[in-house]
Amino acid sequence: MSARIVSGGEGVEEAVAILRRGEVVALPTETVYGLAGDAFNHLAVARIFEAKGRPLTDPLIVHLPESGWLDRVALFESASQRAQVDQIAAAFWPGPLTLILKKHPDLPDLVTAGMQDVAVRVTAHPLFREVLRQLNFPLAAPSANRFGKISPTSAEDVQNELGSMIPLILEGGPCEHGMESTIVVVKGGNLEILRPGPITREQLTEYGHVAPPSEAVKTPGSLPSHYAPKKELQIIESDIMDWISASGRKNAALLAFRSPTPVVIEQCTALEVLSCSGDLREAAVHFYGALRRLDQSQSDIIFAEALPEVGIGVAIMDRMRRASHGSRHASFSSHE
């Protein structure tokens, strides 16, 4: 069985009908594709966890059509917190930012994995927004990949990940950012970045003191081994040519930031260039797709060139390190 991929108004209509029945569908967002279900329907939420193979301890993000719906899923600790959230929402929503707030008691505990806090965001994707507009409930939606795997940035990626588990994928084209939303805790006037993403630390400083995440608030899904390709992935922090020669690997794929030299290209079985001009935003858009293709190539290892950790480069390197950790872990466990 595979999911039907449907686009446009027809796709929206079908997605709405399926979601109203308490089933799940994959929807496009501006970051990555999400697997959506009615956030107030226990069965729909359980289906999301089941389709992804995700542990019930890992909470989901709740997607709203507009910030005016915040009171249906979250509580505010004070008037000043409310004012700060309103300012942030006005600046970044709709867009690739998720806020962690106190959970409303009416929201099923399953959505937040029993946690007292809820993650909320308002996506900018017109198709997702149209689906939400036609429903009268918010949608819980994690990234539409099997748990711990590479996030999908196209309808085909979702088909490869979850096609056998879900009835419908709403086709919305390639994702604009290609990297999951920035997750921020708004607490005591401070902003704590739990997951770096398209909205950068620099952009957030205008709206509160950006403090390092406290020990108490963790993103349960942020395991060191996430976004894992099947092949081993090693990050190159020095000269690419030196690294490939020193590794002694004859069958290596290269995930390059910029176009490499012809000598380097000759050494690689497979190559993906994230941005010929060295543009970090373009690199983010291409990152997961390139990683997927190299994972499917004939090579037996992926070397990934480290990127500058500025702006969205922080998010890309965060994902690259997790992909590297995960693949090392996978290659160890296959020897057990």
The interface region with Mg ion, picked from 12-20, 44-52, 140-148, 242-250 by CB under 5 A, is 140-148
Of the pair 2, 116, the CB lying nearest ligand TXA is at: 116
Contacted entry of Mg ion, ligand TXA, none for residue 41, CB cut-off 5 to 8 Å set by kind: none
Contacted entry of ligand TXA, Mg ion, none for residue 304, CB cut-off 5 to 8 Å set by kind: none
Contacted entry of Mg ion, ligand TXA, none for residue 98, CB cut-off 5 to 8 Å set by kind: ligand TXA
When CB distances to ligand TXA are compared, the closest residue is: 221
User: What are the angstrom distances between the C-alpha of 75 and each of 38, 85, 259, 265?
Assistant: 20, 11, 49, 54
Q: Which residues pair with 19 in a beta bridge?
A: none
Of 114, 38, 106, which is closest to residue 71 (Cα–Cα)? 106
Contacted entry of Mg ion, ligand TXA, none for residue 59, CB cut-off 5 to 8 Å set by kind: ligand TXA
Of the pair 98, 159, the CB lying nearest ligand TXA is at: 98
Query: What is the smallest separation between the CB atom of 316 and Mg ion, expressed in angstroms?
Result: 15
Query: What is the smallest separation between the CB atom of 147 and ligand TXA, expressed in angstroms?
Result: 9
Q: Which of 18, 24, 118, 170 binds ligand TXA (CB under 6 A)?
A: 118
Beta strands of the chain (E only): which ranges? Answer: 4-7, 25-27, 34-38, 61-63, 74-75, 97-103, 117-121, 139-140, 168-171, 182-187, 190-195, 209-211, 232-236, 252-256, 270-273, 301-305
What's the full length of the chain, in residues? 336
Query: What is the smallest separation between the CB atom of 148 and Mg ion, expressed in angstroms?
Result: 8
Query: What is the smallest separation between the CB atom of 11 and ligand TXA, expressed in angstroms?
Result: 17
267 lies in the binding site for ligand TXA (CB under 6 A): no
Q: Which of 11, 19, 29, 193 binds ligand TXA (CB under 6 A)?
A: 29
Torsion angles phi and psi, residue 45, rounded to 5 = -65, -40
Q: Which residues pair with 121 in a beta bridge?
A: 63
Torsion angles phi and psi, residue 90, rounded to 5 = -65, -35
Distance of CA 86 to the CA centre of its chain: 24
119 lies in the binding site for ligand TXA (CB under 6 A): yes
Please, are residues 73 and 150 in contact by the beta-carbon 8 Å criterion?
no
Q: Which of 41, 67, 98, 299 binds ligand TXA (CB under 6 A)?
A: 98
220 lies in the binding site for ligand TXA (CB under 6 A): yes
- DSSP assignment of 73-113 equals HEE-S-HHHHHHHHHHHHHH-SSSEEEEEEEPTTS-TTTTT
327 lies in the binding site for Mg ion (CB under 5 A): no
Please, are residues 73 and 64 in contact by the beta-carbon 8 Å criterion?
yes
Of the pair 61, 236, the CB lying nearest Mg ion is at: 61
Please, are residues 147 and 55 in contact by the beta-carbon 8 Å criterion?
yes
159 lies in the binding site for ligand TXA (CB under 6 A): no
142 lies in the binding site for ligand TXA (CB under 6 A): yes
What is the enclosing helix (H) or strand (E) of 315? helix 313-333
Q: In the range 170-199, which residues lie near ligand TXA by CB under 6 A?
A: 180-181, 183, 194
Number of Cβ within 10 Å of residue 220's Cβ equals 13
Q: Which of 98, 112, 143, 154 binds Mg ion (CB under 5 A)?
A: 143
What is the enclosing helix (H) or strand (E) of 191? strand 190-195
Contacted entry of ligand TXA, Mg ion, none for residue 153, CB cut-off 5 to 8 Å set by kind: none
Which amino acid appears at position 143 of this protein? Answer: S
Question: Which residues are near Mg ion by CB under 5 A?
Answer: 143
Catalog residues that contact ligand TXA under the rule CB under 6 A.
Answer: 29, 31-32, 34, 58-61, 98, 100, 112, 115, 117-119, 141-143, 180-181, 183, 194, 219-222
